Amino acid sequence: MQWVNPHAHRHSSTAHLLEDGVALRRIQMLLGHNSLQTTEIYTHVATNYTSDIKNPLDSLYLE
């Protein structure tokens, strides 16, 4: 059995919040970070954080 330390739990929970679409600013407040850059470190763990972003130009009809 492998034990999960508090840091690993915090990291994975944050990744799940990002993957569920919770705003980065809200996560920053939950974690108590003063800087948004500190919270952005967690985005590299979330697997689908940027994969579902749509390019607004894709929906334009160019004639």
- Would you state the pLDDT for residue 44? 73
Q: List the chain domain ranges.
A: 11-47
In tens, the pLDDT along 28-58 reads 999 999 998 988 887 776 665 555 666 666 6
- Decide if 18 contacts 47 (C-beta within 8 A): no
pLDDT, averaged across the chain: 78
- Alpha helix (H) residue ranges in 1-63: 6-19, 24-31, 36-40
